[in-house]
Structures are given as structure tokens and as C-alpha cells.
């Protein structure tokens, strides 16, 4: 591509990146409650009103995002022949166990994120990094549903009035710079600094989409629910107003003689004695027994504003957010009282379905990303493995005793392989399963050395429930 053609691509993608950055800032304002309340105060709002407005902010949409992110954790890589150790080493070498959390949070909050593969400094290795839509913009051919984008722009750094980018095209990544306008050139402030061959015939960028339609459009788990979060904050603000100004009974008195100032002769004037009036007001507010000197004096009270309707409306708004975002209501309200195991499973079912959908989408992107990284690192067998896939840690909340009993029945009644059941134990990671297998192999070898015939017979016999679940219920 010529430098002028590169500038045309750069102009399109940089404009798109600016739009994405504005969209991300709107999302961030709801993930950080100090930035957004969701409603406007009147121009003459007092300092107290503004303080109450600040108190009404709660990061509800951050909870919606976190509930999904905390249920997504990759714990292994498998291929056509089982676990792929080289791919897992590639994963760990790039610190993906930590990077994946930030990637999932960006993917779910903003609607999409990007994984970028490049050559590492050490020969035979590749580097994987993740970027939010604030720092990368891409273009796809057709409807935007291809495996890899046709071009991509990655923001790098800014020094003074100059900003550096990496412009990805098939086979090459151009280090470009945008600075002040230059006179006498059609390139303006655009300049190509360096050309870096990638060694692959496509753009090594993979998109992670939260939800994507057939038009290639993505949507996150924040933008659609902003109106609901606005209602929750507004209801909380209204309750705080009523609680601050009108949550107690107000004493009233009519027919009282208001103290007035005296003239030089000691006669009352028409001017109010504000000092004595304040003393009278304080006395009426604090005394248990009120006495009026005039027969026309009448005492009464104004009822406090009931807060129950505000609390009820607030809970209704939270339940609406829970329903439309497929988030368990107890995760937002913190109330979990006397729920049976079946009721708890039913409450978490919508979230489990939502998480599974995100895992399917992200899993396909991770497999594609690992194949690209393997191709750049010279691991041709992994790069050509179409069955390559990541496995997800089971984060479902289950009782260990119930799981052990169920796994024991699978082994006894359905003759499921015992070692295949180990990875289904709640809270056990793949690394722990590998350690169990190593210990089991060592014990089997020792037993074979002691008594070969007994060891062979035991390996071919079916284990009882006690061997798997720890014994039957008495």
C-alpha cells in the first residue's frame, strides 16, 4: 500500500476510534458511580441537595458486569488428542491467567474487546495482548463477521502533539505517527515511521464479542440497562430527600404571640424580636409540655413522610434490573433468606445461561487467538489444529458432599472413568487434577512393584462408592 492509501485507512479508523472512545466513556461513567447519577438537579439546588445526589449513586451496572466476569475463567487448553501442553505453556507465558479477567470485563462492559498477537523478542515465541475499544478500531470485509479484520488501528502512545499508532494490514504492521500539519503535502501530519512484517497473511487481531448480530454489531451489558439504573438512583435520591427533610413529625402552633421589639418607653413595636422568637421556637421544639398564654393558642403536628413507598419502588426497580440483565435478584439486593437448593438453582439459571453464551463466544475467539500465536511461534501442529479449544473452570456453587455423592453414583452405576470425574469436583483446578494423576500413577507403580497380580486385578475392578465419594450414607 502507498503512503497515501495508508493515510486514507488511518483517517477512517481514527475517526471510528474516537466514536468508540466516547461510547466507552459513557459506559465508564456508570461503572464508576462518582461520575454519573442519571438525573439532573434543578439550577437552584442547594449544597444539601447536591450532597444527597452524591449519596444516591450506587454502581449497579458494575455488579451486573462482575457477576458474569467472575463466572468466566479459562483453566485449560485441549485439542483433538486431549490437553495441549504447548498451547497451555503459551497461555501461561503471556500471563493470560490474569489478562483474561480484564479482557472479559472489557468485552462484557463495552460489548467487544480485541486480542493482538505479535512477535516476541525471544525467538520462537509470540506475544499476546488485549485492548479495549478505546485503543483499537478495526474494519471487516462484508458484514463484519469474518475471522480476522481486513485492517486494524492500534493506539500506542502520545508525546506532545504527536501520537503513534500501529496500523495493521495483511502481512505488515506499520508504525505511523500523526502530528502537526505539514505544508505542501497531501499527507498532512501523517507519517509512516517503520514497516514491520508479521509473517502471516492476515491481520493478527481477534475480536471478543459480548453479543454480536448478523450485521456485525456488538452490544455490552451496560448500555442497554442505563435507563433502569437511572430509575434506581432517582428513587434512591427521592427517598434521601424525604428522609433528610420530612422523616419526622413537625409540631405546629397557632395563635401564639410573636415577641416584638420595645420602644424607648417600653411599648411593643411592629418589629419582631428575632432573638426571643428563636428562643420560643427552640422551646416549642424541645419541651415535652407546651403551654400557650393566649386562649386562642392551638397546638398540633404534621405527620412525617412515609418512606415505605420509596423503599418499595426502589426494590421494584432493582428487581426490574435483575430481570432484564439476567442477574439473580439476591446478587443485587443481598437478601438470601431460606432458599432451598432447588430455588437457588432456579434463581441462578438465567445467569448460568447468560454465562454459557458468553463462554461459547469467547471460547471461539480464544481458540483462534491461540492458533495465531502458535503460527507466529512456529508451532505448526497447534496452528493447524481445528479442534483446539479452551476449557472453563466450573464456578457453579454446589455442596462438596452432594457433588461427591453424585460423582460416586456416576462411577458405580454408569461405570464412568474415575479420573474423568476428578475434574468435575467443585473448586478443583486442572493443575490440581494433573497433580492427582501424577500421585495416582506413582502409587500404582509402587503397588505393582509390591504385588503385580493384585495391582492388575485392582485396576480392572470397579471401585465402590466408598472409593469415590467417601462412603455411603448411614
Residues 437 and 471 placed together within one structural domain of the fold: yes
pLDDT of amino acid 467: 46
Residues 190 and 297 placed together within one structural domain of the fold: no
What does the DSSP assignment read for 412-432? Answer: HHS---HHHHHTTSTT--HHH
CA 68 – CA 328 distance, rounded (Å):
11
Task: Check whether 73 has a pLDDT greater than 90.
Answer: yes
Residue 108: pLDDT band by 50, 70, 90 thresholds? very high
Residue 471: pLDDT band by 50, 70, 90 thresholds? very low
Q: Is pLDDT larger for residue 148 or for residue 275?
A: 148
Whether 377 is covered by a domain: the verdict is yes
CA-CA distances (angstroms) from residue 449 to 154, 302, 439, 446, 463?
60, 91, 16, 5, 21
Residue 454: pLDDT band by 50, 70, 90 thresholds? low
Residues 168 and 105 placed together within one structural domain of the fold: yes
Task: Check whether 307 has a pLDDT greater than 70.
Answer: yes
Q: Is pLDDT larger for residue 35 or for residue 437?
A: 437
Residues 100 and 175 placed together within one structural domain of the fold: yes
Whether 95 is covered by a domain: the verdict is yes
Residues 168 and 205 placed together within one structural domain of the fold: yes
Greatest mean pLDDT range, 10-24, 75-89, 112-126 = 10-24
Whether 347 is covered by a domain: the verdict is yes
Residue-averaged pLDDT of the chain: 84
Which residues are registered as beta bridge partners of 155? 165
| Residue range 120-131: mean pLDDT, rounded | 86
Q: Is pLDDT larger for residue 392 or for residue 282?
A: 392
Q: Is pLDDT larger for residue 262 or for residue 282?
A: 262
pLDDT of amino acid 470: 45
CA angle 42, 45, 48 (to 5 degrees): 140
Whether 438 is covered by a domain: the verdict is yes
User: Worst-scoring range by mean pLDDT, 36-50, 157-171, 215-229, 437-451?
Assistant: 437-451
Residues 135 and 205 placed together within one structural domain of the fold: yes
Whether 53 is covered by a domain: the verdict is no
Residue 464: pLDDT band by 50, 70, 90 thresholds? very low
| Burial 452-474, CB ≥16 within 10 A → b, else e | eeebeeeeeeeeebeebbeeeee
pTM metric for this prediction: 0.79
Q: Is pLDDT larger for residue 400 or for residue 150?
A: 150
What does the DSSP assignment read for 127-140? Answer: EEEEE-TTSEEEE-
pLDDT of amino acid 351: 92
The three-state secondary structure class of 252 is: strand
Residues 200 and 340 placed together within one structural domain of the fold: yes
CA 238 – CA 244 distance, rounded (Å):
10
Residues 80 and 116 placed together within one structural domain of the fold: yes
pLDDT of amino acid 289: 54
C-alpha cell at 349: 439459571
CA angle 396, 224, 325 (to 5 degrees): 25
pLDDT of amino acid 280: 64
CA 412 – CA 21 distance, rounded (Å):
56
Which is it for strands 172-178 and 74-79: parallel, antiparallel or unpaired? unpaired
pLDDT tens digits, one per residue of 25-51: 999 999 886 767 778 888 888 898 889
CA-CA distances (angstroms) from residue 344 to 92, 159, 312, 330, 422?
35, 54, 23, 10, 25
User: Phi and psi (nearest 5°) for 184?
Assistant: 85, 20
| Residue range 85-113: mean pLDDT, rounded | 95
Whether 374 is covered by a domain: the verdict is yes
Which range marks the domain in which residue 91 is found? 1-31+70-221+325-397
Task: Check whether 256 has a pLDDT greater than 70.
Answer: no
Residues 352 and 404 placed together within one structural domain of the fold: no
Task: Check whether 10 has a pLDDT greater than 80.
Answer: yes
| Residue range 201-228: mean pLDDT, rounded | 94
Closest CA to 155 of 319, 321, 283, 18: 18
**Final residue in a domain of this structure, among 344, 370, 397:** 397
Residue 472: pLDDT band by 50, 70, 90 thresholds? very low
Residues 74 and 13 placed together within one structural domain of the fold: yes
Whether 315 is covered by a domain: the verdict is no
Q: Is pLDDT larger for residue 399 or for residue 314?
A: 314
Residues 144 and 24 placed together within one structural domain of the fold: yes
DSSP state of 435: H
The three-state secondary structure class of 202 is: coil
- Contact partners, residue 54, CB within 8 Å, separation at least 6: 34, 37
Residue linked to cell 500404582: 444
pLDDT of amino acid 451: 67
Task: Check whether 465 has a pLDDT greater than 50.
Answer: no
| Residue range 244-268: mean pLDDT, rounded | 72
pLDDT tens digits, one per residue of 268-289: 777 777 777 777 666 665 555 5
| Residue range 61-85: mean pLDDT, rounded | 92
pLDDT tens digits, one per residue of 162-194: 899 999 999 999 999 998 887 777 888 899 999
What does the DSSP assignment read for 150-163? Answer: SEEEEEEEEETTEE
The residue ranges of DSSP E strands in 54-203, in sequence order, are 74-79, 82-83, 112-119, 126-131, 136-139, 151-159, 162-169, 172-178, 190-197
Residue 208: pLDDT band by 50, 70, 90 thresholds? very high
Task: Check whether 379 has a pLDDT greater than 50.
Answer: yes
CA 53 – CA 40 distance, rounded (Å):
9
CA 174 – CA 7 distance, rounded (Å):
11
pLDDT of amino acid 291: 59
Number of domains in the chain: 3
Task: Check whether 304 has a pLDDT greater than 50.
Answer: yes
Q: Is pLDDT larger for residue 268 or for residue 318?
A: 318
Residues 184 and 280 placed together within one structural domain of the fold: no
Q: What share of the chain is helix, strand, coil (3-state, %, to 5)?
A: 45, 20, 35
Q: What percent of the chain has a predicted confidence (pLDDT) above 70?
A: 87
Amino acid at each position: 500500500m502507498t503512503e497515501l492509501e495508508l493515510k486514507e485507512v488511518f483517517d477512517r479508523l481514527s475517526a471510528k476510534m474516537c466514536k468508540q472512545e466516547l461510547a466507552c466513556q459513557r459506559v465508564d461513567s456508570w461503572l464508576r458511580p462518582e461520575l454519573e447519577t442519571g438525573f439532573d438537579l434543578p439550577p437552584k439546588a442547594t449544597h444539601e441537595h447536591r450532597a444527597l445526589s452524591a449519596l444516591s449513586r450506587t454502581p449497579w451496572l458494575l455488579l451486573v458486569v462482575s457477576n458474569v466476569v467472575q463466572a468466566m475463567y479459562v483453566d485449560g487448553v485441549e485439542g483433538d488428542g486431549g490437553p495441549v501442553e504447548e498451547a497451555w505453556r503459551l497461555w501461561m507465558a503471556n500471563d493470560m491467567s490474569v489478562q483474561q479477567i480484564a479482557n472479559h470485563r472489557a468485552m462484557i462492559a463495552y460489548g467487544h474487546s480485541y486480542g493482538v498477537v505479535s512477535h516476541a523478542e525471544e525467538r520462537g515465541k509470540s506475544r499476546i495482548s488485549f485492548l479495549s475499544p478505546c485503543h483499537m478500531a478495526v474494519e471487516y470485509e462484508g458484514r463484519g463477521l469474518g475471522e480476522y479484520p481486513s485492517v486494524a488501528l492500534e493506539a500506542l502512545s502520545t508525546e506532545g502533539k504527536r501520537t503513534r499508532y500501529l496500523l495493521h494490514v495483511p502481512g505488515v504492521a506499520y508504525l505511523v505517527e500523526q502530528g502537526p500539519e505539514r505544508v505542501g503535502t497531501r499527507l498532512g501530519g501523517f507519517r509512516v515511521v517503520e514497516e514491520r512484517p508479521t509473517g502471516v497473511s492476515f491481520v493478527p487481531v481477534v475480536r471478543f464479542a459480548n453479543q454480536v448480530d448478523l450485521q456485525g454489531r456488538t452490544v455490552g451489558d451496560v448500555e442497554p440497562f442505563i435507563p433502569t439504573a437511572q430509575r434506581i438512583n432517582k428513587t434512591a435520591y427521592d427517598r434521601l430527600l424525604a428522609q433528610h427533610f420530612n422523616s419526622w413529625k413537625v409540631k405546629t402552633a397557632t395563635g401564639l404571640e410573636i415577641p416584638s421589639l420595645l420602644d424607648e418607653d417600653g411599648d411593643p413595636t411592629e418589629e419582631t424580636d428575632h432573638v426571643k422568637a428563636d428562643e420560643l421556637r427552640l422551646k416549642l421544639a424541645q419541651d415535652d409540655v407546651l403551654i400557650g398564654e393566649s386562649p386562642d393558642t392551638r397546638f398540633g403536628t404534621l405527620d412525617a413522610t412515609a418512606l415505605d413507598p420509596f423503599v418499595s419502588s426502589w426494590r421494584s426497580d432493582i428487581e426490574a434490573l435483575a430481570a432484564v440483565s439476567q442477574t439473580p435478584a439476591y446478587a443485587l439486593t443481598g437478601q438470601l433468606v431460606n432458599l432451598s437448593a432447588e430455588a437457588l438453582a432456579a434463581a441462578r439459571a438465567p445467569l448460568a445461561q447468560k454465562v454459557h453464551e458468553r463462554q461459547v463466544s469467547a471460547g471461539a475467539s480464544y481458540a483462534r487467538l491461540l492458533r495465531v500465536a502458535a503460527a507466529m511461534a512456529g508451532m505448526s501442529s497447534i496452528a493447524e489444529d481445528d479442534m483446539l479449544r479452551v476449557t472453563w473452570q466450573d464456578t457453579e456453587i454446589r455442596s462438596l458432599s452432594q457433588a461427591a455423592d453424585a460423582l460416586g453414583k456416576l462411577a458405580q452405576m454408569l461405570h464412568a472413568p474415575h479420573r474423568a470425574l476428578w475434574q468435575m469436583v467443585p473448586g478443583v483446578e486442572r493443575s490440581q487434577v494433573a497433580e492427582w494423576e501424577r500421585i495416582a500413577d506413582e502409587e500404582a507403580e509402587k503397588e505393582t512393584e509390591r504385588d503385580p497380580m493384585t495391582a492388575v486385578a485392582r485396576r480392572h475392578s470397579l471401585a465402590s462408592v466408598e472409593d469415590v465419594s467417601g462412603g455411603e450414607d448411614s
